[in-house]
Amino acid sequence: MAKIGKNLDDLLDGNRAQILRYLVQNNGCSRVEIAKTIGLKQASITKIVRSLINAEVIQETGFTEGLKGRRSIGLSFNYTKYRIIGMKLSWQGLKTCLFDLQGNRYEKVINYTTEYLTAKNIAGVIEKMADNIRELQSKCPDVIAAGVALPGPFHRDTGTLLLHTELADRFYPIKEALCKKVPLPIFFEHDAAAGALAYWWFKTNCNTRQTLLHLLVSEGVGGGVVSNGQIFSGCHGLSTELGHIIIDYKGKKCVCGARGCLDAYCRSIALETRAGELLAKFPKSTLSNAEHITIRAIFEALQSGDELAVYLIHEAGQYLGYGLVSLIPIFDPDIVVISDIITHGGQTLMKGINHILDTKLSSYYNKPKIILMDPAEDLVLLGAAAIAIDGILARPTEHLIRTGPSCKSMSQS
């Protein structure tokens, strides 16, 4: 049974967390505004704010117009003091970068390409992750945490990642393995869920009234949901593997063993395979000259108006539309964000999505705003930073009430 009681230290930490979250979302607000919103007495707010100022976690920013036109002293989070590390682990590579707590990127992204991630090579990848963290720590002593975004299936409760072995798939304790190598708070999350949190945190101004659904479409199809400012993780921490909702129960076989999963139609390798199947219908396609059709070649052909590429990406958009028709009644999102490789499909992809939503979505539900991310923007890498930020703000006494050298001299890339 989980512990539900709170002692005085827990209550103080919880109040600090609420104040910091409100301050991050409402930069420049006054003590009076915080007290009114959170519901604490003015004396309690004053005492907690003083402790945060003394620890250099927050700072006063001068006078601002407060409630009823009265001048008040504004407060701001001390963004110059802290840095966090974001790491994106995919099935075929690792990206690492340094961020501040506003999501600004510092230094260059450290890229590491590996063979397809399996139980055989995971130890080497973890060692590389630890090396990257140590390298960035040596450059910036004020690194206070790291966030790691992982491909699914990822078990949040146990910190384990499902990996393929010669005998059977098994969950590997990646959280335990990395944390043993690096004495730093490290937070782990499913990649698509991390991307959802990044968009909510940095693109919606932390609007807790919004429900956001994120579809990550690249090597596979993943999903993440943020509702009321929290990642939806389910009872056992294995929720929102949205790529494995079934859109055709008699359809293509998926890598998970089921038939008709969204993943089986929209992941990169599925689009490459489908392009090969359609070549006979489009003999004039430039893709017929390719020795091996790659996802990059498909999108290059799309840019030139190639009929096969246009047909293929429009069809992929329709499959995503069918997936959303199933997901919208479950999560009722205000915003649907689609990111990664598939967004190179641009308006052709959007036409396919909108066609299905406009003709198949029940009139009971509102059509959400559909956003295609810029293909150049790595939402998951930013999401890795977001889960670290979210984690340290949830327990500020442990992670922030300390002093140390700042990173003001570091340049933003």
- Joined together, the tokens standing for residue 217 give 């479409």
Contact 41, 28 (CB under 8 A): no
Report the range of poorest mean pLDDT among 22-36, 213-227, 272-286: 22-36
Fold entry, domain 207-372: Nucleotidyltransferase; domain 5 (3.30.420)
Cα separation, 401 vs 56, whole angstroms:
8
The pLDDT of 159-165, averaged and rounded, is 83
- Contacting residues for 257 by C-beta, under 8 A, at least 6 apart: none
Residue ranges of the domains in the chain?
A: 8-77, 83-197+379-399, 207-372
Does domain 8-77 bear CATH number 3.40.50.620? no
C-alpha distance across the termini of the chain, in Å: 47
Position 168 confidence tier, pLDDT thresholds 50, 70, 90? low
pLDDT at 204: 86
pLDDT in tens, 127-149: 999 999 999 999 888 899 999 99
CATH topology agreement for domains 8-77 and 83-197+379-399? no
Alpha carbon 36 to its chain's center: 32
Residue 8 has a pLDDT of: 76
**What is the pTM assigned to this prediction?**
0.89
What are the pLDDT digits (tens) for 271-296? 999 999 999 999 999 999 888 999 99
Q: What is the pLDDT of residues 61-84, one digit of tens each?
A: 877 665 555 667 889 988 888 999
Q: Give the angle 166-170-172 at the CA atoms, nearest 5°.
A: 115
The pLDDT value recorded for residue 165 is 64
Count CA atoms closer than 13 A to 166's CA, side-chain side: 2
**Which residue bears the tokens 């940095």?**
202
Question: Is pLDDT of 10 > 60?
Answer: yes
Tell me the backbone φ, ψ of residue 162, rounded to 5 degrees: -75, 120
Right CATH number for 83-197+379-399 from 3.40.50.1100, 2.40.30.160, 3.60.15.10, 3.30.420.40?
Answer: 3.30.420.40
The whole-angstrom separation of Cα 120 and Cα 316 is 33
Distance of alpha carbon 74 from alpha carbon 64, whole angstroms? 6
Helix (H, G, I), strand (E, B) or coil at 186: strand
Q: What is the mean pLDDT of residues 180-195?
A: 95
Cα 78 from chain centroid? 24
**For 251-276, how does the pLDDT look when each residue is reduced to its tens digit (9 = 90+)?**
899 888 889 999 999 999 999 999 99
**C-beta atoms surrounding 141 within 10 Å:** 12
